[in-house]
């Protein structure tokens, strides 16, 4: 329900275009004839998981409503280096002006989807889910979250209003796990509560307080296995999330340790963009 669509999505994309265009695309406006038309191919220059084609299309449409567009790769599919993933045709000037914003979003989304798929593949065969975090580029969270889903991952809370997440600073400032959960229940009735725990004592308090989710951060797989067994053996059986510097070579150990989900900040905070380009020709 948080993801922009329709007018709200267009407003966001127009803001991104305004940032890039500034007072005008002086290169295109002075060099390309007003009536020129172009056709083009969007090509993956690196192996990637496809994400963001509808977003890229809408960027072009906002400047060239008459654009002809054809997606040639399905969302979530793998594209090899050199594969054409979309084709387009229309007025050359607006296509050139919109190119950078469309490709920036497309490259980032494909990069996030690709990395997400690698983590999903790493935990394949287990019930563990790969989750994103709020460590997204400001203003780009809707696109980052969509890319995670396209890569086979799942979204954590969208913003601070969606879930109570009691971390170490909250615990210290509120007087401990039990008091924090009690205050959250009273102040935000019906909202899901997750508690980060750093010891078995805090784990016991979180379970006794009725936390819906347990966050185990920066612990070994062995500790996660022991604490997951305790949590899952309780009457409420809270969801257990493991986090903290998750890597492709370690994430499966946490999945096998019994974590219901692993949250991976690297999916969005330091992703490498996929190499995607637009090759234009005179129509």
Residues 6+ apart with CB under 8 A from 153: 116, 119, 120, 129, 130, 131, 132, 267
> Per the structure, how many domains does the chain have?
2
Asked if residue 100 and residue 140 are part of one domain, the reply reads no
Asked if residue 159 and residue 95 are part of one domain, the reply reads no
Asked if residue 129 and residue 216 are part of one domain, the reply reads yes
Q: Based on the residue annotation, tell me whether 196 is a catalytic residue of this protein.
A: yes
CATH number of the domain where residue 242 is located: 3.20.20.70
Asked if residue 140 and residue 64 are part of one domain, the reply reads no
- The total of other beta-carbon atoms located within 10 Å of residue 248's CB is 13
Q: Based on the residue annotation, tell me whether 135 is a catalytic residue of this protein.
A: yes
User: Which is catalytic among the residues 135, 157, 185, 226?
Assistant: 135
User: Which is catalytic among the residues 100, 118, 157, 185?
Assistant: 100
Asked if residue 191 and residue 151 are part of one domain, the reply reads yes
CATH number of the domain where residue 112 is located: 3.90.1170.20
Q: Based on the residue annotation, tell me whether 217 is a catalytic residue of this protein.
A: yes
Asked if residue 147 and residue 108 are part of one domain, the reply reads no
User: Which is catalytic among the residues 167, 192, 198, 275?
Assistant: 167
Can you give the residue range of the structural domain that contains 251?
Answer: 125-269
Contact 247, 115 (CB under 8 A): no
Asked if residue 244 and residue 275 are part of one domain, the reply reads no
Q: Based on the residue annotation, tell me whether 172 is a catalytic residue of this protein.
A: no
- The per-residue pLDDT for range 221-268, each reduced to its tens digit, is 999 999 999 999 999 999 999 999 899 999 999 999 999 999 999 999
Model's pTM, two decimal places?
0.95
Asked if residue 57 and residue 31 are part of one domain, the reply reads yes
Asked if residue 170 and residue 257 are part of one domain, the reply reads yes
Q: Based on the residue annotation, tell me whether 167 is a catalytic residue of this protein.
A: yes
- The per-residue pLDDT for range 138-161, each reduced to its tens digit, is 999 999 999 999 999 999 999 999
User: Which is catalytic among the residues 61, 144, 196, 260?
Assistant: 196
Query: Using 50, 70 and 90 to split pLDDT, how confident is the model at 3?
Result: confident
Asked if residue 180 and residue 66 are part of one domain, the reply reads no
């Amino acid at each position: 329900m948080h993801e922009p669509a329709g007018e709200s999505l267009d407003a966001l994309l127009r803001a991104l275009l305004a940032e890039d265009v500034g007072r005008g695309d002086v290169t295109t406006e002075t060099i390309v004839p007003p009536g020129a038309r172009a056709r083009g191919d969007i090509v993956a220059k690196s192996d990637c998981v496809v994400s963001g084609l509808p977003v890229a299309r809408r960027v072009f449409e906002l400047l060239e409503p008459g654009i002809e567009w054809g997606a040639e790769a399905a969302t979530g599919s793998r594209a090899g280096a050199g594969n054409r993933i979309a084709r387009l045709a229309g007025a050359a000037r607006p296509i050139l002006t919109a190119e950078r914003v469309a490709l920036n979003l497309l490259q980032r989304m494909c990069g996030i989807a690709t990395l997400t798929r690698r983590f999903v593949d790493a935990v394949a065969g287990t019930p563990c889910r790969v989750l994103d975090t709020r460590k997204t580029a400001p203003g780009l969270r809707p696109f980052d979250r969509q890319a995670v889903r396209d890569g086979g991952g799942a979204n954590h809370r969208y913003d601070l209003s969606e879930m109570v997440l009691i971390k170490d600073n909250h615990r210290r400032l509120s007087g401990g796990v039990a008091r924090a959960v009690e205050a959250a229940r009273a102040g935000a009735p019906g909202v899901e509560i997750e508690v980060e725990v750093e010891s078995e004592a805090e784990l016991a308090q979180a379970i006794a307080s009725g936390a819906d989710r347990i966050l185990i951060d920066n612990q070994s797989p062995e500790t996660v296995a022991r604490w997951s067994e305790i949590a899952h053996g309780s009457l409420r059986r809270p969801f257990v999330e493991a986090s903290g510097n998750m890597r492709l070579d370690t994430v499966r150990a946490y999945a096998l340790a019994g974590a219901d989900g692993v949250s991976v900040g690297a999916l969005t905070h330091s992703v490498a963009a996929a190499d995607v380009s637009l090759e234009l020709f005179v129509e």
